[in-house]
Amino acid sequence: MKKKFKVSTRRIIQIISFIIFNPYILLNPKTGKVLYQGKIKSVCVPILNCYSCPLAIGSCPLGALQQTIKISQIPYLIVGFFGTIGIFIGRYPCGNFCPFGFLQELLYKIKSFKFRVKRPLRYIKYFILLLSIVVPFIYKEPFFCKFICPAGTIEASLPQIIFNPALLANISWVFYLKIFFGISFIFFSITTKRFFCSTICPIGAIYGLFNKISLLQIKYDKNKCTKCGVCNYVCPMDINIYENPKDIDCIRCFECVKKCPYGALKVSNILKK
Amino acid sequence: MKKKVFFLILLFIFLFLLFTGIYFKQYEQIYNFGRFICFDCIGL
């Protein structure tokens, strides 16, 4: 019997988000410019999306945060931006809008050996977030963009070097370090559910802090739950939502709500009793 | 009620920060960061 191919609404939202945040060369293949320089670059996108990507039309909020700290200014706009989104929807952008998360979910579909991320490793992202704030302030270097960001490597470094090979003359050891992180990212994305989101991503770390207090919540009914494990099986972040519906790693994709056979989980808001 | 008040206070704080950033025209800086190739991002 033929297997029915079905695309979920979340997948469609992820594809549309990718196109909305990254339409530049797709829409303008004949301009010859490999970087959008229009006014939309003044606006941050709510997800990790390198602003040096030839496709990007918006700015990366983490890059903007680090660059603002680097020039010794208080990043009011970025903090307000993260906070306003976080207070309403928590990590929802990670699960539904982020093209990098989408890429990881696609990579995880490749058949290979799989392993899980241990709980303590999930807190590494807070250490990286701390470094992403402290290092630009003290050493005037955008730590995450410069030394780690695999989004920068995959979305910006490689395409920019392909379009402009003259850049190769200026590469330093940092480039090779970033290539190493890029390859590691691909490897771990194949073997582990959203490895980057759960252990490294500082944007996910920021939004994760809001999961506890955001308007958008998941409500768990322990009387209906049998702990069958379906929620964990379908969860792109590999968490047990019944242990903590406000988990910092819940990306509010609501796969567990849709798939729970007992209806123990439902979408709610924090103001509801 | 407590949750509602807490939520509204936080919302007010973050909106205040957002509009403070807009008042100081920080969006212009963000534009300047993003309009050229970021050599830090591409590892050069």
pLDDT digits (tens, 9 = 90+) for A219-241: 999 999 999 999 999 999 999 99
The domain defined by A218-269 folds into: Alpha-Beta Plaits (3.30.70)
Task: Classify residue A90 as left (phi > 0), alpha (psi -120 to 50) or beta.
Answer: left
Nearest to B38 among A51, A177, A215 (CB): A51
The pLDDT tens digits along chain B (44 residues) read 788 899 999 999 999 999 999 999 999 999 999 888 888 888 77
DSSP structure string for A252-265: ---HHHHH-TT--E
d(CA A209, CA A206): 6
**E strands, chain A, where?**
216-220, 265-269
d(CA A232, CA A234): 6
What pLDDT does residue A4 have? 67
Task: Classify residue B43 as left (phi > 0), alpha (psi -120 to 50) or beta.
Answer: left
Domain positions in chain A are 9-25+34-210, 218-269
Q: Which of the residues A67, A77, A181, A219 would you substitute to probe the B interface, choosing the one with the greatest number of B C-beta atoms within 10 Å?
A: A77
A80 and B18 within 8 Å at the Cβ level: the answer is yes
Task: Flag whether pLDDT at A137 surpasses 60.
Answer: yes
Nearest to A77 among B13, B26, B44 (CB): B26
As for the ipTM of the complex, it is 0.95
pLDDT digits (tens, 9 = 90+) for A242-265: 999 999 999 999 999 999 999 999
d(CA A174, CA A195): 22
Q: Are A185 and A196 in contact (CB under 8 A)?
A: yes
pLDDT digits (tens, 9 = 90+) for A169-193: 888 899 999 999 999 999 999 999 9
* Segment (H or E) for A21: helix A9-21
